Amino acid sequence: MAEIRDLGALLQRAGLALPVADAVPYPATYPDAWALMRDLRAMGEGNSLAARHRRPLPRALFAEAARLYAERFPAPGGRIRASYEMVWLAGWAPADNQPKPLRPGSAAARLADALGTTEHDAAGSPVALDRPASRATTPPCAPGTERTPE
């Protein structure tokens, strides 16, 4: 599977504007490795390498792989755990009236203010503001729509 940043770059290379790539991991459990392998095969996740060995692998290899997988990735109830990552990609055909990304640091309001939350640094500590918090208001309506009073 490709890295998500590489997939986003492919959208740009294809000529699409404002590319967006997102991924969500999904945990799953299986009764055994054989059920997991059946699911992987049904998803098209077989060995697609051109230089792979064409001779079938010995059954003992798969039995050992199933044993090791069950040992290393146990789940409650005698099952095994696995996870999948769903990746979504979106891009738009370039147009003259398309919004352009703003210069980094040019925002007029802080996202934390708009969301009504406190901004935290990487360590989880609240960030002290060196300027007064902006007064976040409700965002403007999209063109052609009206806001109804609440």
pLDDT per residue as tens digits for the range 52-83: 788 888 999 999 999 999 999 999 999 999 99
Residue 64 CA to residue 114 CA, distance in Å, equals 54
Residues of the chain with pLDDT > 90, as a percent, come to 39
Q: pLDDT tens digits, residue range 82-114?
A: 998 889 999 988 888 887 777 888 888 888 888
Mean pLDDT value across residues 26-41: 93
Tell me, yes or no, if the pTM score tops 0.85: no
Q: What is the mean pLDDT of the chain?
A: 82
- Residue 36: enclosing H or E segment and its boundaries? helix 33-42
Residue 31 CA to residue 61 CA, distance in Å, equals 19
- The strand pairing partners of 74, in sequence order, are 80
